[in-house]
Structure 1
Amino acid sequence: MKPTRHVLSLSGGKDSAALAIYMRDRIPNMEYIFSDTRKELPETYQYLESIEDYLGKRVHRLNADLGFDHWYDVYGGMIPSNHRRWCTKMLKLKPFEQHVGDDAVLNYVGLRADENRSGYISHKPNITPVYPFQEDGLRLPDIERILRDSGVGMPPYTKWGRSRSGCFFCFYQQKIEWVRLKETYPDLYEKAKGYEKPFEGSGNTFTWSERESLTELERPERMQAIKDEHERRRMAHERRGDHLTLAEVFARGDDEPEGDACLICTL
């Protein structure tokens, strides 16, 4: 009988990075994987290299030959959304399940003890999720400490206002994050706009951002309105004494799509 495999999926986010650091010496034979959609932010790849340096081990990249554009064509040009999460299924979950096959696997997930949410993870009977942070009572300050003490630090994309990992056009981005993407990577913003075209199955045009196209969102007056609203919310939290992190400020916004973000993409 094969021994049980220990697998930790990195997303490029702070929680999975901290978990990899936390588990490095506890599970020496841990496998680290990253499902590459080929649409990640440049900082995500940079962050993975920092994590690899700390671990002293290569993070195995999945999806080397089938990226987002392949499946976008397969689905007839339908942009994924909270209700059409084919991107998570085909680019994250399926490659992960193919990688582990039928082996018995413990899949380490970076949900913290201060989180009360679920998400999109594998339900194959041979894959058992494990939640070390919840089991050990680790909360957000602990994750920040782990990253700081290791020297890996927070994901570099947080410096310009992005709160989550995932594709640069992830539909879970808030309006303010689209504005920051436009300002920081105008070329990537233009590429994201290129996907917003009539869907051949119905003629309807799907958009990344809820209720408006990226062409509408990038109008100067609209971008300023989004910035003003974001600043108003931030100051309101500050006046109440809510000492929130960047991610927490975003999470309390009023333009977050319904449903839970995909754990395999964002942790």
Structure 2
Amino acid sequence: MENTNTNKQPRHILGLSGGKDSTALAILLHQEVPQMEYFFCDTHRELPETYEYLERIKARLGIQIHYLSAERGFDHWLDIYGGALPSPQMRWCTKQLKIKPLEAFIGDDAAISYVGIRADEHRDGYISTRPNIKAVYPFKERGLVKADILRLLEESGIGLPKYYEWRSRSGCYFCFFQRKYEWVMLQETHPDLFARAVDYESQHKDGRTYTWTQGETLLELLERKDQIIADHQKAMAREAQRQPDRPLVESLEAILDEEDDTLPCLACHL
């Protein structure tokens, strides 16, 4: 259902993904912009740690979060797209489950959207092209970099979500932007969710030719599980030797970026 802004003043909105950057932005702005509307686009395919983290944010900051959902869920759209799993080349999940619910939430209102892209990131853009939505980038404007984001999270008492122990990005449990190690750790941490991701690959009335990762199925990837974990541990040890004082979360992110540094969707991974 679309909202209508009767006082004609622009609405101030901040999307929380369950990741570190959008959370740090909420910490930075929740007193500066008291009229801020916080939202989370819920695909209903999120990690349990994401929901736990959102509850922590609400409790610490004393804010309300609007949970936005598409009228039709993932399985409906999977059928509409002929069983083609979403991929970096066809991100229909972002369009149908994130962008459209957000645009319905804003309606025709003028809105200022606060986006958590840091000053040390070389990316830009916004998830909506609607002319009534203006994006602003407070971290860029203030020159705040990753170290500042981690400081904000620590000082607030919110900290990092638990999934950052093995995964460096927020998003659905079956997100196709996951790296090999993250898929393996999903199977270790949430075997039930990994099994559901496998089902999406294998159970289809016309046969499944699509996979979550390029070039192999999840079950094929799992056959290399021990080697993937061993390679990751060696890389982390090398990183610890090279930069012994570096926070673990930064080392993990650096190692995973070496495997695949493709930029994910802004709607899901800030």
1:164 aligns with 2:169: yes
Identify the match of residue 133 of structure 1 among 126, 131, 139. 139
Q: 1:230 aligns with which of 207, 229, 232?
A: 232
Percent of aligned pairs with the same residue? 51
Cα deviation for residue 71 of structure 1 reads 1.5
Deviation at 1:248, TM superposition (A): 2.4
In structure 1, the gaps of 5 or more residues are none
Equivalent runs, 1:183-194 vs 2, <5 Å: 183-194=188-199
Q: Indicate conservation of the 8 Å contact 1:6/1:105, yes or no.
A: yes
Which residue identity does 1:226 align to in structure 2?
I
Aligned-residue RMSD, C-alpha: 1.9
One-letter amino acid matched to 2:12: H
Q: Distance in 1 between matches of 2:117 and 2:63?
A: 23
Q: What is aligned with 2:181?
A: 176
Structure 2-normalised TM-score? 0.90
Shift of 1:215: 1.1
CA contact (8 A) 1:78 1:199 kept: no
CA distance in 2, matches of 1:68, 1:120: 22
Q: Does 1:121 align with 2:127?
A: yes
- Counterpart CA distance in 2 for 1:3 and 1:78 is 42
Match status 1:51 vs 2:61: no
Aligned to 1:109: 115
Change (3 A) 1:53 1:198: closer
The 8 Å contact of residues 198 and 205 in structure 1, kept in 2 or not, is answered as: no
Task: Using the TM superposition, give the Cα deviation of residue 246 of structure 1 relative to its aligned residue in structure 2, in angstroms.
Answer: 2.0
Aligned length: 260
Distance 2:60 2:133 in 1: 27
| Pairing 1:241–2:246 present | no
Question: 2:168, 2:125 → 1: CA distance?
Answer: 17
CA distance in 1, matches of 2:24, 2:37: 15
Cα offsets for 1:235-263 (capped at 9, x unmatched): 3333433834322221122xx27x42001
Partners of 1:120 and 1:262 within 8 A in 2:
no
Which TM-score applies when normalising by structure 1?
Answer: 0.91
Structure 2 regions of 5+ residues with no counterpart?
1-6
1:209 aligns with 2:207: no
Q: SS of the counterpart of 1:112?
A: coil
Show structure 1 runs of 4+ deviating over 4 A.
Answer: 198-201
